[in-house]
Structure formats: structure tokens, C-alpha cells
Amino acid sequence: MTEARTIQEAEETYAEQAAEAIRGWHAVQDEISQDSVTVEGPHADMLTDAQRYQAEREQKAARASTEAESYRRAYTELQEERNNAVRARRERVQKDLYSVETTDLLARAALATDDQLRSLMDLAATTGNSELGRAAFVVAQQRQLDGVLAAYFETNPEAHALYEELQAAPTAETMERRVADAGVLFAAPMPMAYAPART
């Protein structure tokens, strides 16, 4: 069976990294907001207070926009790496959990009635034939035969752990949303976000 970080362990690691990126973005926004900005240019001394203040806000917004793009890119890469790690682990777990090398056994299980499938699971447990047990499990899982699944997991706790890991894995929609969320989480603030306009 597979020995590696579980999907949930990978999720926890990446979730903490994602939270750290979000905290970093908020800290940068606070820093930009608190920084003083000098408006420069050949006619800077001719600006009214309101014009100067608007120019300061626009400079802060431009800086925030650059930072936001950098955070968005890094966050997107992080979420894609996270999703790839989940997909790779899911493939390994599915292979360990559902792979039946003997097609005759799988065909026999597929053609069995529900009662015969229970008998096959009992036979697998009695004889220690893991391949027969896995074949019966695969079919029982498709048919949602909880009793047969429970019997398999009782004699194979490692398979139960893998099955639970898959059941708790994020959906494809969740993984797609993570990547799309970068645009919302790291949206560049508008100039007016930094302070009320002077009048």
C-alpha cells in the first residue's frame, strides 16, 4: 500500500501556506496605506491639496496593483501545486485500493449476486486471499453494499484508511475554485480605498 503524505496532510500544509500568503498581502496593503508618498514632477508645487492627495492615492494604488499581481501569481502557483499533489496522491490511493490484477476474479465478482458477493468476501477473509477480497470490495463499493464494505474493512484496516482518505478529498470543483479565488483574494485596491478624498 502507498506510504506517503495523505491528501489531508498535504491539504493542511498547503492551507497554511495559502493563509500565510493572504496574511502577507494584508500586511503589504497596511504598509502601503501607512507609507508617506511624495508627489514629484515639474508642476508638483502647483497642485491643490485635493489634487496632491489624489496623486498620492493613485501612487499607492499603482504600487498595490503591482504587489497584488505578484501575490496573485504566487498564490495561483501554490494552488496549482496543491491541486497537483492531491491529484497525484488520489491516483496512487485509487490504484492501491481498487487495482485488481486478476481479471477473472473481478469478472467473477462483477457477475455475482449480492449474496454471492458476501460469500466471496467471507471466503477471501477465511483464506487470506487479498486479491479476491479486493475484487469483491470493488464491486461492493459500486453497488453501495455497506455490509460487504464493512466486512472488507474489518479485515483490512489499511484499505479502510485509504477509502476514508478518498472520501474526504476535495472535489474537482473545489480545486478549480481555489485557483479562481486568487483574483478575488488579491484584487488590487482602487485609489479611493486608501483614505477619504480631501475637500
Which DSSP string do the residues of 17-55 spell out, in sequence order? HHHHHHHHHHHHHHHHHHS-----STTGGG--HHHHHHH
Tallying the residues shown for the chain, one arrives at: 199
Q: What does the pLDDT profile of the chain (199 residues) look like in tens digits?
A: 444 689 999 999 999 999 999 999 999 999 988 887 666 667 667 777 777 778 788 888 999 999 999 999 999 999 999 999 999 999 999 999 999 999 999 999 999 999 999 999 999 999 999 999 999 999 999 999 999 999 999 999 999 999 999 999 999 999 999 999 999 999 988 888 776 544 4
**121 alpha carbon, distance to own chain's centre:** 35
Q: Tell me, yes or no, whether 116 lies in a domain.
A: yes
Number of domains in the chain: 1
| Alpha helix stretches (DSSP H) within the chain | 7-34, 49-98, 103-111, 114-127, 130-143, 146-155, 157-167, 172-180, 182-185
107 in a structural domain: yes
Q: Can you give the residue range of the structural domain that contains 83?
A: 7-189
